[in-house]
Amino acid sequence: MSRQSWSEFQPVRSLRTASTVLCVFLLMVGLMTVLSPRPVLAQAEAIDLTLTVVYGPNYSRLEAGKDNILFLEIRNTGNKPITDIRLSSVKPEGWAIDFKPAKIDSLVPGSLQTIEVNVKPPKKAAGRRYHLTIVAETNEFRREQYTWGRVEGPKGRWLWIGGIVLLVVVAGFAIVFVRIGRR
């Protein structure tokens, strides 16, 4: 067999052969895909629920002693209806957390329900970050959603205290400068 030099190369004939081989290959792969037996997978019934706290502009800021409204989305991500969903919370001592509604009778697969959550910290809650846990419970399972809120301390009282301290400091400097200025 003699070697073919580049000058004798016939690109049309090589291209035709390559395209024929490619067509035969694709035809064989297609036939194997269509004719091969495939296992049919039966999907087991799944019960699953997701809880999501909807973030708003003032979501994490809570005012002490006042009602603070948050929203919770409950979504059935399984393929079976969920019944008798009860909502509760794990909260710091003295806090009140109410749900409207507090119980969901039924949630079909793929559906979503929004719940209004009223969070009321006590009046004397320190201005810091608090962790809250929202719980959705059925007879089959329990889901928890952890979240947090920052209680804003009373600003009016500290504004007055700061103003008085500033006034005392300025008055002290004025008295010192007046006495030193006479000498």
- Expressed as residue numbers, the domain containing 75 is 49-153
Is the overall model pTM greater than 0.75, yes or no? no
Which two three-digit tokens encode residue 175? 């008295």
Contact 88, 98 (CB under 8 A): no
Domain membership of residue 169 (yes or no) is no
Domain membership of residue 123 (yes or no) is yes
Domain membership of residue 175 (yes or no) is no
Domain membership of residue 105 (yes or no) is yes
What is the per-residue pLDDT for 10? 56
Calculate what percentage of the chain has a pLDDT beyond 90.
31
- Residue 126 predicted with pLDDT over 80: yes
CATH number for the domain spanning 88: value is 2.60.40.10
pLDDT band at 29 (very low <50, low <70, confident <90, very high): confident
Query: 12-46 burial string, b = 16+ CB within 10 Å, else e?
Result: eeeeeeeeeeeeeeeeeeeeeeeeeeeeeeeeeee
Domain membership of residue 59 (yes or no) is yes
What is the per-residue pLDDT for 155? 63
Domain membership of residue 61 (yes or no) is yes
Domain membership of residue 9 (yes or no) is no
Out of 55-64, 144-153, 170-179, which region has the weakest mean confidence (pLDDT)?
Answer: 55-64
pLDDT band at 37 (very low <50, low <70, confident <90, very high): low
pLDDT tens-digit map of 127-170: 888 999 999 999 888 999 998 888 876 666 777 888 888 899 99
Tally of structural domains, the chain: 1
Domain membership of residue 172 (yes or no) is no
Length of the chain: 183
